[in-house]
Amino acid sequence: MKNKRLHKFLNRAVAFVTAAGLALLPPCGALTWTGSIETVLADDAPAGYHYGASSITYNIIKFDNLEIFSDFTKYYHASTNSRFGWPFCEWCGECNDEYGNPNHWVTQAANFYGYYDTVNNKYVFTGASVYGGERNKVDNHCAVHETCNHDHGKSHESVLQEQDQPDIQDLNSWMFDGMVRYLGRKGAGMISLKTLKNNGCTFEYSRENGIGGTVTVTYNNQLVPNNYNIVFNPSNGNGEFSHTATYDSSNRNAGAASAAWNDCTLQGWYTGQNGTGEKVYDADGNAVSGSFWSGSGSSAVCRWNSTDGATLNLYAYWTGTVTVNAGTGISSVSGGGVKSVRSDVTITSTTKTGYTTPYWEQDVADSSKAYGSSYTFTMPGSSISFTAYASPKQYAITWNSNGGSSTPANTDVTYDSTQGNSVPSSVITKNGCRFDGWSDASGNMIYDSTGNAVNGTYWTGSVAQAVWKYAGSENPVKVYAKWADITGPTVSAVPSQTAWTTTSSVKITADDNDTLASDNAYRYYLSESSSSLVGGSWTNYVNNRNVTIGSGLTGTYYLWVKRVKDTAGNWSNDSDYHVFGPYRFDNTAPDLSSVKSTYGWFESGSTTEISFDISDNEAGLKSIVLKDVNDVVLADITGGAHSYSFSASGVNFYNIIATDNLDNTSKKMFVVKIGTPAEIPAESAVWKGLNNLELYQSWLPITYTIRFDKNDGDSATKVTGTMADVPAIYDVPVNLPENKFARDGYEFIGWNTSADGNGKSYANRETVKNLTAVRGGKVTLYAQWKDSSAPQLSVTPTETVNPDVENDAVKSIDVTITIAEKGSGLSSDNHYEYGFSTSITTPPDNWFEYCSSPAADSFSTTLNRLGSSETGFYYLWVKQIKDRYGNLSSSIGALATIASCHVYGVYAFDNTAPSGTVKYIENNATLGLYNDTLNASPYAVMSIYDAYDDVSGISGFSLVISDVNNADNRAEFSFIENSGSYVCRFSLYDCLKNFQDVERVNMSIHAFDRLGNTATLPITSYDFGTLQSGSAIHADDIGFLLADSSGYVYSRDAFRVEAYIENISHNSHGTSFMGGQKGRLRIYTFGNVHSICADFGSVKKYINPACDTHPDLEMTVIQPTHTAYIYLHDFFIPLGCASSTYTDTTALGFKEGGVQHRNIVYDVSGTLTDNIKTILKYNAR
């Protein structure tokens, strides 16, 4: 390649000579030409150098009959010692390939023919003619001469021009690949291109007759080190400046550049922006060893291999310090430290337990809040400090009296605060209970009985120093009155005493203000004494049911009932028994024992009145009737002395019948004799003592039959077994037989004269008599059954099932409650109620009726759309019901039975859409603000942090943008999940149809859960970038506002205008000007702004029409409009402008009826007029 370039150089030189006619000089004359060429062999200059101006001198002497001799011939066979000694590597055709064959060499005079192939840059041998023949090939033995490499060096790659040419037309004939060779018998040698460049070279050749000549080329070329232009961009809003560096030089290797930007730290100068690429200078402008400098600082030498005059663009790399502080409610912060200016910085906080809604606030006045635990911003051109805060959680306390009389007003408490640590001690009562304070559903105390906070789960400290420390998820916190049951059950017997009666139906009731214990023994004893158990036995009773006592008894008795207890262990009585009475029973007829069997003889006509001593010490006499033997009533002698005057002659038999007030009746026969005086025996007669004669009336007792009835009626459970009738005789006791009946699910508890149990009761195997006074009567005793099986209560379904979403959540559910009672029937005092609770141990606050008219035994009811207004995890509580015997219901599908309720679950309801904290970013980085070119596709980002839906799960989020004037013109963007957050990157300015004409848009963020619940989310923070001054751009700057607070719909301009001002005068930069200097206003527009203008405000009052140009930008239509566009407006500060900071220069952009404006801030200090005066002053001297 190097030889080729040298050929080209020589070709140009020869061509120049020929063109000048110099080739027509006489044959033996010398031709000399001297000239200069600026670039020769520039591609071969050493790294960092180029060739400067060159001079070349050469002489050409023409010879005729040129012949060539080569020193190569001495290496070959003696027979080749010819005046032609040109070696050929190969002949075509007859020649073989054997090296050293004498036939390979030409030994006779010959003419050689060839030409230079300029296309392929090689010489072509066309033939040889022995003895000077024509220019044609000889016997086809000639071929193109190729390179032959052997141990004698590199052979020629070309042949000479043919003989006897009129002149040497092409000096390239003497150039060989990679070297220049001396030709002639003086010996061969090589001159490299480098030697050629420095010293030139000489070609020698001779002819047969000894005439020789030379071609001398002298080449003088100067290597010049490259110079480079280094441009420094301070990246701080100020203008660029530059320096020059020279290859192989230490020029500008130290102190080359310096810059300042607020309190930022310059880290050095890099080939890429923001510290990318290679570092070339450190912060002090000293060289840094690398591909540009060899060595560092003052010892560095430039080693950048580039073309002369190349420009190296360097960019200042700035860092600032981000300080992060943990404020109230924050346990730790991260993300601070040294950061690259213009890089995205994310700072993160960790919220303390008990705090919520974290946010970041810049440590400057009037800083806006950025909500969320993390905040991402673009590092400004100054250090910046943020403090993270979080708000203490607020809790509402709601009160549940738990059956008490009243509750306090709802109370608010705050985490880490003493607020609410004492509540008014209201008067709250509950029958039979002591108020012990307030607790949560699990019994953890919150307030004591006086209303003061209790140190524990919810408060730390006590009384006035107590601080709220509960940080759980339950809000409001439900507190329940805590009652201590201090009242034992009551046991009553109705009636508690009686007057005289034959029997008494007594209802024995044990009751409690809470719940009776399940192991109570319900038994009674009928005693003849009120102080001891005498004459009776223990008998079971059914609570709140009637029992019959006193059957067959006469006298005063007392009812002893065993005491009972409640679930709190309170007994109904201090002693083991309750004693009721007296109960007075009279089952004995009046006493006729004083009635004599005979009263002797009486004289006719004399006094025959007889008084009877008849009494009844219990119920009292009701009537005394005197009858003759024929049962004819003679007289009612109830009143008075119970006497009667007998007058019937002869011996007569009489009956006296006495009945007490309870209809107990006794009868007695006696005889009275009335005769003539003569018939009356003397006192000493045999009749003496007749009045002691006992007479008996012959009474035959009746017989009757006792029958036994199964008493199963139409019940589904029939009684099995049989019992034979029992014959009975009046006044003769009989033992009832052992019960032989059996009934599934029931317990036999005795017999009763009434099927419904309201008649007279008898125990199994009890001794009875006189069940009827009807001769041949039939008495039926009905078996009494106690239902021993509980009612069954079932709920379907017992939980929510929805495998398509998390937690099997549903929006609502239909629940069927079924009650099956196969025994005694359902009690009339059941409460058919249900409710939902978030706890499996705490009953609901509110109860709802599910049946107002229940069937007597079994029924089913369906409750529709339960949970339709709830969100969370719930347990369904259904109150236990009981049958007529008090058996409480059971439920197979229940999780548990607690506090007389069946509990089912879990029921997961979700009627609330997901929530989250939304941040809106459309800042300098996303738009490319203040750069020379805008981002090709300006974009914005919506991010949702702390996204939350713990029931059915999050389905997704979307951003909806629509034209304010046409809601149908809308676009929707989906959020993508990214490490727990959701991100939506979108382009606002070209997303709608006919976006070129859309002035304002509505924006809303929609949240969806997996059940279809949807809601719009509020945008809690935003970052719209900064002005050129570094101040934040506010929401109202772009027309951003909350249009609909109920639906969180936001409105904003569908376009945006920002501005940037800079001094572009020579050696000037930044936002500082002198009067008369030139500036440039860059107006950045987004969203197809239709027209723009700029008003320079108070600067214009300094305009002097004679020398100033008006700086305002007149209304300018942008045609065609662009989604993103930079308009450049150059202006001059008036020469006489006062020194000041100007803040009222405004750039304005218009679209449809909307307008946005940005104020630009810059300084004016001094004027160029002063500089001119100074120059003139010194020049005048």
Kindly report the CATH number assigned to the domain that includes residue 609.
Answer: 2.60.40.10
Torsion sign (Cα): 139, 144, 150, 152: positive
For 1052-1100, write each residue's pLDDT tens digit. 999 999 999 999 998 888 999 999 999 999 999 999 999 999 999 999 9
17 has a pLDDT exceeding 80? no
Ramachandran sector of residue 750 (left: φ over 0; alpha: ψ -120 to 50; beta: rest): left
Residue (of 686, 649, 688, 652) closest to 670 by Cα position: 652
116 touches 144 (CB < 8 A): no
* C-alpha to C-alpha distance for 238 and 962, rounded to whole angstroms: 41
1044 and 972 in one domain?
A: yes
| Domains contained in the chain, number | 9
Task: Please report which confidence band the pLDDT of residue 220 belongs to, taking 50, 70 and 90 as the band edges.
Answer: low
Task: Please report which confidence band the pLDDT of residue 603 belongs to, taking 50, 70 and 90 as the band edges.
Answer: confident
Provide the 8-state DSSP code for 1015. Answer: E
Torsion sign (Cα): 263, 265, 271, 275: negative
Task: Please report which confidence band the pLDDT of residue 714 belongs to, taking 50, 70 and 90 as the band edges.
Answer: low
β-bridge partners, 908: 873
Q: Which of 88-97, 273-282, 515-524 has the lowest mean pLDDT?
A: 88-97
Provide the 8-state DSSP code for 471. Answer: -
Return the residue matching tokens 């004498």: 102
476 touches 557 (CB < 8 A): no
pLDDT above 90 covers a percentage of the chain that reads 49
β-bridge partners, 585: 501, 555
Looking at the domain assignment, is residue 22 inside a domain? no
Phi and psi at 229, nearest 5°, equal -105, 120
User: Which pLDDT belongs to residue 884?
Assistant: 80
Q: Which of 52-56, 141-145, 261-265, 1103-1107 has the lowest mean pLDDT?
A: 141-145
Task: Please report which confidence band the pLDDT of residue 610 belongs to, taking 50, 70 and 90 as the band edges.
Answer: confident
* C-alpha to C-alpha distance for 422 and 464, rounded to whole angstroms: 7
Q: Which of 17-21, 116-120, 244-248, 972-976 has the lowest mean pLDDT?
A: 17-21
Domain boundary among 558, 585, 612: 585
User: Which pLDDT belongs to residue 31?
Assistant: 31
43 has a pLDDT exceeding 70? no
Mean pLDDT score across all residues of the chain:
80
For 99-114, write each residue's pLDDT tens digit. 333 333 333 333 333 4
Q: What is the mean pLDDT of residues 376-400?
A: 90
User: Which pLDDT belongs to residue 1082?
Assistant: 96
β-bridge partners, 743: 719
Q: Which residues form the domain of 880?
A: 792-910
Residue (of 837, 838, 834) closest to 847 by Cα position: 834
13 has a pLDDT exceeding 60? no
523 has a pLDDT exceeding 90? yes
User: Which pLDDT belongs to residue 237?
Assistant: 74
User: Which pLDDT belongs to residue 98?
Assistant: 32
153 has a pLDDT exceeding 50? no
User: Which pLDDT belongs to residue 235?
Assistant: 84
For 448-464, write each residue's pLDDT tens digit. 988 899 999 999 998 88
Q: What is the mean pLDDT of residues 517-546?
A: 91
How far CA 189 is from CA of 61, 67, 158, 561, 796, in Å, comes to 22, 20, 18, 146, 113
991 has a pLDDT exceeding 90? yes
Looking at the domain assignment, is residue 491 inside a domain? no
Residue (of 735, 778, 781, 777) closest to 760 by Cα position: 781
**How, if at all, do strands 954-963 and 477-485 pair?**
unpaired
Q: How far is CA 89 from the centre of its chain?
A: 87
Which secondary-structure segment (H or E) carries 1042?
strand 1041-1044
Rg, C-alpha atoms of the chain: 65
Looking at the domain assignment, is residue 1131 inside a domain? yes
175 and 86 in one domain?
A: yes
322 and 260 in one domain?
A: yes
CATH of residue 729's domain is 2.60.40
Q: What is the mean pLDDT of residues 524-544?
A: 91
Grouping H, G, I as helix, E, B as strand and the rest as coil, residue 79 is: helix
Kindly state the tokens that stand for 651: 């011996």
Q: What is the mean pLDDT of residues 872-882?
A: 95
User: Which pLDDT belongs to residue 34?
Assistant: 36
Q: Which of 256-260, 576-580, 1056-1060 has the lowest mean pLDDT?
A: 256-260
* C-alpha to C-alpha distance for 999 and 572, rounded to whole angstroms: 84
921 has a pLDDT exceeding 60? yes
User: Which pLDDT belongs to residue 373?
Assistant: 86
* C-alpha to C-alpha distance for 649 and 677, rounded to whole angstroms: 12
For 757-802, write each residue's pLDDT tens digit. 888 889 999 999 999 888 889 999 999 988 778 899 999 999 999 9
Burial label for 776, CB within 10 Å (0-12, 13-18, 19+), is exposed
How far CA 960 is from CA of 414, 938, 1035, 1121, in Å, comes to 37, 18, 19, 25
466 and 512 in one domain?
A: no
For 449-507, write each residue's pLDDT tens digit. 888 999 999 999 988 899 999 998 888 898 999 988 899 999 999 999 999 998 999 99
1038 and 974 in one domain?
A: yes
1181 has a pLDDT exceeding 80? no
Task: Please report which confidence band the pLDDT of residue 413 belongs to, taking 50, 70 and 90 as the band edges.
Answer: very high
Q: Which of 45-54, 422-431, 1152-1161 has the lowest mean pLDDT?
A: 45-54
Task: Tell me how many degrees the CA angle 991-995-997 measures, rounded to the nearest 5.
Answer: 165
989 touches 1055 (CB < 8 A): yes
User: Which pLDDT belongs to residue 466?
Assistant: 94
* C-alpha to C-alpha distance for 283 and 262, rounded to whole angstroms: 15
Question: CB-based contacts of 98: which residues, under 8 Å, 6+ apart?
Answer: none
Looking at the domain assignment, is residue 35 inside a domain? no
Which secondary-structure segment (H or E) carries 8?
helix 2-19
Q: What is the mean pLDDT of residues 966-994?
A: 94
User: Which pLDDT belongs to residue 1178?
Assistant: 65
185 and 79 in one domain?
A: yes
Residue 226, number of CB atoms within 10 A of its CB? 22
Task: Tell me how many degrees the CA angle 1005-1007-1010 measures, rounded to the nearest 5.
Answer: 160
* C-alpha to C-alpha distance for 273 and 235, rounded to whole angstroms: 8
User: Which pLDDT belongs to residue 58?
Assistant: 40
* C-alpha to C-alpha distance for 485 and 531, rounded to whole angstroms: 31
Task: Please report which confidence band the pLDDT of residue 203 belongs to, taking 50, 70 and 90 as the band edges.
Answer: very low
Give me the long-range contacts of 678-687 (CB less than 8 A, separation at least 24): 679/601, 680/601, 680/602, 680/603, 681/601, 687/600, 687/601
For 802-860, write each residue's pLDDT tens digit. 999 999 999 999 999 999 988 778 988 899 999 999 999 899 989 999 998 898 889 99
Looking at the domain assignment, is residue 388 inside a domain? no
82 has a pLDDT exceeding 60? no
Q: What is the DSSP code string of 114-171?
A: EEEETTTTEEEEEEEEETS--SS-STT--------EETTEEPPSS-PPPTT-SS---G
For 886-906, write each residue's pLDDT tens digit. 889 999 899 999 989 999 999
Looking at the domain assignment, is residue 996 inside a domain? yes
β-bridge partners, 546: 507
Domain boundary among 1051, 1085, 1103: 1051
User: Which pLDDT belongs to residue 879?
Assistant: 96
802 and 895 in one domain?
A: yes
Provide the 8-state DSSP code for 1109. Answer: -
1081 and 1034 in one domain?
A: no
Domain boundary among 866, 889, 910: 910
Q: What is the DSSP code string of 183-248?
A: -STT---EE-HHHHHHH-EEEEEE-TTS-EEEEEEEEEEEEEE-EEEEEEE-SSSSPPEEEEEETT
Longest dimension (CA), the chain: 236
Task: Tell me how many degrees the CA angle 238-243-247 measures, rounded to the nearest 5.
Answer: 150
53 has a pLDDT exceeding 90? no
Provide the 8-state DSSP code for 692. Answer: G
1062 and 985 in one domain?
A: no
Q: Residues, the chain, total?
A: 1181
* C-alpha to C-alpha distance for 721 and 723, rounded to whole angstroms: 7
355 and 243 in one domain?
A: yes
Query: pTM, whole model, 2 decimals?
Result: 0.50
Taking each continuous run of H as one helix and of E as one strand, the counts in the chain are 4, 82
Of residues 1148 and 298, which shows the higher confidence score? 1148
User: Which pLDDT belongs to residue 345?
Assistant: 92
1019 and 924 in one domain?
A: yes
Phi and psi at 1036, nearest 5°, equal -70, -15
β-bridge partners, 525: 538, 560
686 has a pLDDT exceeding 50? no
Task: Tell me how many degrees the CA angle 527-533-536 measures, rounded to the nearest 5.
Answer: 50
Looking at the domain assignment, is residue 476 inside a domain? yes
CATH of residue 1128's domain is 2.60.40.1930
Task: Please report which confidence band the pLDDT of residue 35 belongs to, taking 50, 70 and 90 as the band edges.
Answer: very low
Looking at the domain assignment, is residue 381 inside a domain? no
Ramachandran sector of residue 234 (left: φ over 0; alpha: ψ -120 to 50; beta: rest): alpha
1062 and 1037 in one domain?
A: no
User: Which pLDDT belongs to residue 190?
Assistant: 32
Kindly state the tokens that stand for 761: 């009761």
Q: What is the DSSP code string of 1113-1166?
A: EEEEE-SS--SEEEEEEEEE--TTPPSEEEEEEEEEEEETTEEEEEEEEEEEEE
pLDDT above 70 covers a percentage of the chain that reads 78
839 touches 892 (CB < 8 A): no
User: Which pLDDT belongs to residue 697?
Assistant: 52
Kindly state the tokens that stand for 259: 């810059």
